Amino acid sequence: MLCFVFVGKKWGEILKRVFDIVVALLGLILLSPCFGLVAVLIKLDSRGPVLFRHVRIGRGGRPFEMLKFRTMMEVGHWVGPSLSRANDPRVTRFGAVLRRLKINEFPQLINVLKGDMSFVGSRLEVSEFVELYGEKGKDILSVRPGIVGACQVRMRNEEELYPEGVDPREYYVEHILPKKLEIDLEYVRDRSFLRDLGYLVQGIGVTISGAITRRHVFENAEQITLFFCDAFLCVVSYLLAYFLRMEGQLRPIDEQIIINTIPYVVVGRTVLLTYFGLYGSLIRFFSLYEVAKVVKGVTAGSLTMVLLTFLIGDRTHSRAVFAIDWFVLMFFLVSYRVLFKIARQYLRPQTEEKKRKVLIYGAQNMGDLALRYLRMEGTRKAVAFIDDDPRKMRKRFQGLKILGNRYDIEALTRLYQVEEILVAVQNVDSEDLQHIRSLCEQANVKCEVFALAN
């Protein structure tokens, strides 16, 4: 009976190895175009090598060089922790996408082909944590580590298990590693080729279902909304541009061109808008910097569309459509972002506590910064400016009136029910500041100096 079990396990191992070799070869052949595209995008996203190489512990405790697509910044003087939690600042923009979709693990097919790994097995680990395995390590290290396995299925998005404000290594050793060891031991003691196939199917399932979790959607709801709004406006802008170019008279051939072209327009534009960082900013901080991103993304998209139609030899498509589309889409994307920003700033819930009214002393660059700060802060409201320059009196600065000078503080405080004077003057003289403070004391109003930290 024992001999039968031994022979069965032996043939199971042989069958598993043959399966690994065949599927790894097939995967490398089929995914080779994807490898090239990912390599180019990694290079465009950040400096450094395409592949990440790191020593991991394999079967029998033998170290080997594991391969992955690089997802972190290549900075020699800053290594950081060996563990990566959610929102790790070392992860690049494109690297976050690779990690979320698990594409960064595709090069491990080479490790499978070489025999360092298997498609299904125990969890890969670095030597510093393998040393903590204890007696359990002998069983776990008796099998090849896998791309997929029980741990990978049950703990798909491991980086999201870390609570905020904890030491990643300490939390991993005390809470995550013990769970992983128990799961791996359960797998090792009850493994079979059919069970491995089951884990492989489950691994594919959790990779797809775990790519976008409820937490991920909730945390990025604003950016996701912007993405789909932009995609919709890309369609509207292109159709409107074609309609304007043809003066409302669309021929059957024009309708066919639109049907054939619009998928490329939407996909191409959204990819380029994403690449230029339109979905990495918060809408309430939309500024000229984000406008520049819109200009770059829309321009790159228009040039790409013109180039594609030229390369494929399509002479029936009007190039003027893309010029009109450039103007229309630019207007749409900037305008609705500005409207969203205004809505978030001024259409606040009525239950919000009353804001303290503030007068800003200094209608100049520092005063502009102070006004921006108050608007972002949200707890105080600037009602007007005061300035000692008589040429500025009764004029407007950044949308607010300049109502008087320092000697009007007491009157303006009572008239507008001001609770605070914010002094925003660069390199203000100490004597002037003391004088302004004394005037604020006479008016029984708080005086604060707005300054930039060095």
Nearest to 106 by CA among 35, 203, 33: 35
pLDDT for the residue numbered 348: 58
CA separation for the pair 129, 37 (Å, rounded): 34
Residues in the chain: 454
pLDDT for the residue numbered 215: 63
Q: Residue 216, Cα to own-chain centre: how many angstroms?
A: 10
pLDDT for the residue numbered 308: 78
pLDDT for the residue numbered 7: 44
Residue 365 carries which side chain, given as an amino acid letter? N
Give residue-wise pLDDT tens across range 303-353.
988 887 777 666 667 778 889 999 999 999 999 988 888 887 666 554 445
Long-range contacts of 7-15 (CB under 8 A, 24+ apart): 12/192, 12/193, 15/193
Most confidently predicted of 133-147, 171-185, 211-225, 317-331: 317-331
CA separation for the pair 88, 206 (Å, rounded): 22
CA separation for the pair 62, 144 (Å, rounded): 10
pLDDT-derived band at 281 (thresholds 50, 70, 90) equals confident
Give the three-class secondary structure for 397. Answer: strand
CA separation for the pair 415, 421 (Å, rounded): 14
CA separation for the pair 79, 73 (Å, rounded): 10
Tokens encoding 444 = 């029984």
| pTM passes above 0.75 | no
Higher pLDDT, 385 or 77: 385
Q: What percent of the chain has pLDDT over 70?
A: 85
pLDDT-derived band at 128 (thresholds 50, 70, 90) equals confident
Nearest to 131 by CA among 85, 82, 168: 82
Q: What percent of the chain has pLDDT over 90?
A: 24
Going along 63-171, which residue ranges are E strands?
63-69, 118-120, 146-148
Most confidently predicted of 107-116, 127-136, 195-204, 283-292: 107-116
Lowest mean pLDDT among 12-16, 213-217, 288-292, 436-440: 213-217
Neighbouring residues of 188: CB distance < 8 A, sequence distance ≥ 6: 122, 139, 140, 142, 143
Angle at 295 between CA 292 and CA 299, to 5 degrees: 145
Give residue-wise pLDDT tens across range 226-263.
889 999 999 999 999 988 888 878 778 778 888 888 88
Classify the phi-psi angles of 159: left when phi > 0, otherwise alpha if psi is within -120 to 50, otherwise beta: alpha
pLDDT for the residue numbered 315: 63
pLDDT for the residue numbered 75: 58
pLDDT for the residue numbered 214: 65
Lowest mean pLDDT among 38-52, 66-80, 437-451: 66-80
Q: Is the pLDDT confidence value at 156 over 80?
A: no
Q: Which domains does the chain have, with CATH numbers?
A: 2-216 (no CATH), 220-346 (no CATH), 356-449 (3.40.50.720)
Q: Is the pLDDT confidence value at 286 over 80?
A: no
- The half-sphere exposure of 84 on its side-chain side, counting CA atoms within 13 A, is 16
Neighbouring residues of 159: CB distance < 8 A, sequence distance ≥ 6: 84, 85, 86, 88, 99
Average pLDDT along the chain: 82
Higher pLDDT, 258 or 419: 419
Q: Is the pLDDT confidence value at 362 over 80?
A: yes
- Around Cβ 122, how many Cβ atoms within 10 Å? 28
Nearest to 400 by CA among 350, 369, 360, 432: 360
